[in-house]
Structure 1
Amino acid sequence: MVGKVDPKTLARVLAGTGASSAAVGVGPGFGEDAAAIELGEQTLVVSSDPISLAAERIGTLGVHVACNDVAASGGDPEWLTSVLLLPGDADDATIDAIVADLDREAAALDATIVGGHTEYVDQLERPLLSLTAIGTTDRFVPTGGAEPGDRVVLTKGAGIEATAILATDFADELGLPADAVDAAATFFEEISVVPEARVLREHATAMHDPTEGGVLGGLVELARAAEAGVEVERAAVPVREETERVCAAMGVDPLRTFGSGALLATLPAERVEDALAALDDAGIEGAEIGRVVESERHGVDLDGEHFAEPPRDELYPLWE
């Protein structure tokens, strides 16, 4: 089995969290992107995420996936720790490429890698990278903060991360012209949601980074964390042409696959227009895609079909 554990298994894991601390404002929970630790007037925001399957640009993905979770919680990512596990036969070129990606992407976010661990593991077939991002904020924005009546906004589009992965790890299998594949591969440059999070955090009741399981998975996590329902129509969810082409070539649903690079946010209805205008001023695409409703069935209604649990990411079978 590959991917996130189911909510029931996650609950068992989260039942053991060590000593309690009065400083923890938001701790581990289903759908929550990061922890909030209260330090006087500032809140420390902490999140960890692994990259275990993508072969290309894992340093790029690793930095942004971790930092996106801090940004989606209203924080500014400032520090990183990096745990890099390498196959026993990893060569210098592989190591140098990962390190170069880590250094470049962290520097672009003004984040500093302050520690971690690196070792060889003979049992691995590909590198495994896990980063912890740490930042600060004066207004923590949880995944579970959405209220009935809020509107749901998505930046950029569905499947941004998956588009880049498909165009690199599976380039030879796409059967698309080289220029189309090259255009899709440039989506690596749009994985960060730090810029849009800085715009939306002043307006949002909740924000969430849709990673594994894509936009649909992220919406389910957001809805369940808020103990509410979310209603969405597929036609309202923006999907770029490059994403449509590579996903169609591999039989992948853009709404059910790796979505880093997009940010989900819920906002009071009266703030949506100002928030979208602010995104536009910053040169960031944004669209209203649905609404939060009071419901005893916590989850997502997509074109009338109900989802109570996140779907299995549709990229996983391609690696199996």
Structure 2
Amino acid sequence: MDLSPNTSEQNPLFQKLEKVRRRQGKVRDTHITLAHGSGGKAMRDLIDEIFVKSFDNPILSQLEDQASFNLAHLMSQGDRLAFTTDSYVVDPLFFPGSDIGELAVNGTVNDLAVSGAKPLYLTCSVILEEGLPTETLRRVAASMQAAARKADIQIVTGDTKVVHRGAADKLFINTAGIGVIPKGIEISAQKVQPGDVVIINGELGNHGAAILIARGELALDTDIESDCQPLHNLVANILKVCPEVHAMRDATRGGLATVLNEFALSSNVGIRLDEKSIPVREEVKGVCEILGLDPLYLANEGKLVVVVPKKSAEAVLSAMKSHPAGKDAAIIAEVSASPPGVVLLKTVFNAERIVDMLVGDQLPRIC
């Protein structure tokens, strides 16, 4: 059959092929099938309609196997790259205040932000279980794009895999992020010094409590929502008034207690917490009391812990309170030379107890 350039447009086979291509991006399946991970047309349609359509930007639209960046543009914003990756397996996928898509974006944005970096680009790789409703995937992709737009970043490349029914649990997401750290910003857990002050940007434990209640295993009726939110603009506020921030982390799995232990061990210092100063919602305290949990170990998805020189503490606190993500910020601890590598809590009864690293997992699949 002659398919030369002069005759191909009139050829019935060519016309049929063009008709099929024009239908590209029309996903009619109501549920994910193994074909959606096969590398063929079903997979291409899924990627085009759900991911490319949702995340549309000039870099992603090239549909190469990688994203390419202009190095001069990147380095004009700072002198170092920050690079991170994280995976999200939260159960349930949708919970009060957020969902797995927004969580995946904000979690990676915040991992970049606490290094002082300006987040710029994300990847999105998904592992889908056969049988997942297609509409669920659409909702998650739309949520990711809304979160990316809010954080002023672009999702520029990714990957899609489908596994047999029962080989995963609905949907897992992996994201990687790239940001640029401005010149002069040196934030590290190894820079904490005696005399420093520890500040947190708001209430602890809301995310962990919201997930626990959303699983429906407890007959509890509360309005607790996840604190999932991007923190890069809050970090920018902090760095404007205190470029010499010593350490900063987001308090996710393991909560505040784990972050402070990491700081204490990395810098070989002591940290003394004041329980009266730690902001925790009464509803979260109630959930913890019922279940025997400690809010210091509950996961958060919109909380950062910042360590600054004492002379800068009030300026940093004021800058944090001026941002919506830091309106409930509080000074909660001071750093001492001893006992080295130990976190102590001054209780409401004026006694002291050691706050150790979390052993095991209070709540699995929290993020």
Normalising by the residue count of structure 1, what TM-score does the alignment of the two structures yield? Answer: 0.78
Do the aligned partners of 1:159 and 1:215 also contact (CA within 8 Å) in 2? no
Q: Are residues 1:159 and 2:202 paired?
A: no
Do the aligned partners of 2:213 and 2:220 also contact (CA within 8 Å) in 1? no
Deviation at 1:91, TM superposition (A): 2.0
Aligned to 2:364: 316
Q: Are residues 1:198 and 2:246 paired?
A: no
* Matching residue within 252, 269, 277 for 1:228: 269
1:158-177 deviation per Cα after TM superposition (whole angstroms, max 9, x unaligned): 11321332343x2x334233
Whole-angstrom distance in 2 between the partners of 1:297 and 1:58: 38
Which residues in structure 2 correspond to 1:11-50 (within 5 Å)?
Answer: 41-50=78-87
Which residues in structure 2 correspond to 1:1-320 (within 5 Å)?
Answer: 41-55=78-92, 56=94, 57-122=99-164, 123-138=167-182, 139-168=185-214, 170=215, 172-177=216-221, 180=222, 183-185=223-225, 187-188=226-227, 190-202=228-240, 203=242, 204-283=245-324, 284-295=327-338, 297-303=340-346, 304-307=352-355, 309-316=357-364
Do the aligned partners of 1:166 and 1:246 also contact (CA within 8 Å) in 2? no
Structure whose alpha-carbon radius of gyration is higher? 2
1:132-182 deviation per Cα after TM superposition (whole angstroms, max 9, x unaligned): 1111121242233211110100111211321332343x2x334233xx3xx
1:25-60 deviation per Cα after TM superposition (whole angstroms, max 9, x unaligned): xxxxxxxxxxxxx96952211111111233221111
- Give the AA of the match of 1:133: G
Deviation at 1:312, TM superposition (A): 3.4
Normalising by the residue count of structure 2, what TM-score does the alignment of the two structures yield? Answer: 0.68
CA RMSD of aligned residues (A): 2.5
- Give the AA of the match of 2:209: T
- Give the AA of the match of 1:135: G
Do the aligned partners of 1:211 and 1:259 also contact (CA within 8 Å) in 2? yes
Q: CA 1:248 to 1:99, structure 2 compared with 1: closer, same or farther past 3 Å? A: farther
Aligned to 2:42: none
1:97-134 deviation per Cα after TM superposition (whole angstroms, max 9, x unaligned): 22112111111101100112111123112322121111
User: Aligned pair count?
Assistant: 274
Aligned to 2:39: none
Deviation at 1:251, TM superposition (A): 3.9
Whole-angstrom distance in 2 between the partners of 1:130 and 1:317: 14
Whole-angstrom distance in 2 between the partners of 1:198 and 1:216: 25
Deviation at 1:301, TM superposition (A): 1.7
Whole-angstrom distance in 2 between the partners of 1:54 and 1:140: 36
Q: CA 1:98 to 1:301, structure 2 compared with 1: closer, same or farther past 3 Å? A: same
Whole-angstrom distance in 2 between the partners of 1:277 and 1:265: 13
Q: CA 1:104 to 1:125, structure 2 compared with 1: closer, same or farther past 3 Å? A: same
Whole-angstrom distance in 2 between the partners of 1:195 and 1:312: 33
Percent sequence identity is 26
Deviation at 1:253, TM superposition (A): 1.9
Gapped runs of 5+ residues in structure 2?
Answer: 1-73, 347-351
